[in-house]
Amino acid sequence: MTKLSTKLFVLVAAISLIFCVTASANPAIVSYGGSYSNTLTAGQGYAYILPNAKTTGTSVKITASSANTLRLHYYWSYNNTTIDLGTAIVNSTNYNGGSGYYSPGTLITVVERVPGSTTAYPSVSYTISFN
């Protein structure tokens, strides 16, 4: 029961952290092999939560309607700790990212609009997948 309580606390803390980072991020629990489509406008963000992410490597692939308009912010959550792994700009319409992690945990990926890109591109559609 303690392990379940701890995992639930970590998940709630991670989601709270995501909402602090991006004001309008909507969270979604995702799984390996799934593709998820969305469209973002100015000020919007979307959070993808991948529980039990692989320590040997998780591939994150994004296909976007335009380059340099989206950014990814990665977080790794394990053992009641959340680590900020940094930000990456989706610099092409087909972007591959991801990494291996040293301890089993939860990968949280927040997709946001790049500030300053909304004038030229009011909305950007994308598809994200985790493998």
Residue 68 confidence (pLDDT) above 70: yes
Q: What is the pLDDT of residues 35-52, one digit of tens each?
A: 999 999 998 999 999 998
Residue among 8, 118, 20, 13 at smallest CA distance from 73: 20
pTM of the model: 0.78
Three-state secondary-structure class, residue 45: strand
Which residues have C-beta within 8 Å of that of residue 30, sequence separation ≥ 6?
A: 36, 48, 49, 50, 130
**What does the pLDDT look like over 121-131, one tens digit per residue?**
999 999 999 99
CATH for 2-130 (1.10.3720.10, 3.40.50.2000, 3.30.365.10, 2.60.120.380): 2.60.120.380
Give the DSSP per-residue string, 57-95: -EEEEEEESSTTSEEEEEEEEETTEEEEEEEEE--SSEE
Inform me whether the pLDDT recorded for 9 exceeds 60.
no
Domain boundaries, the chain: 2-130
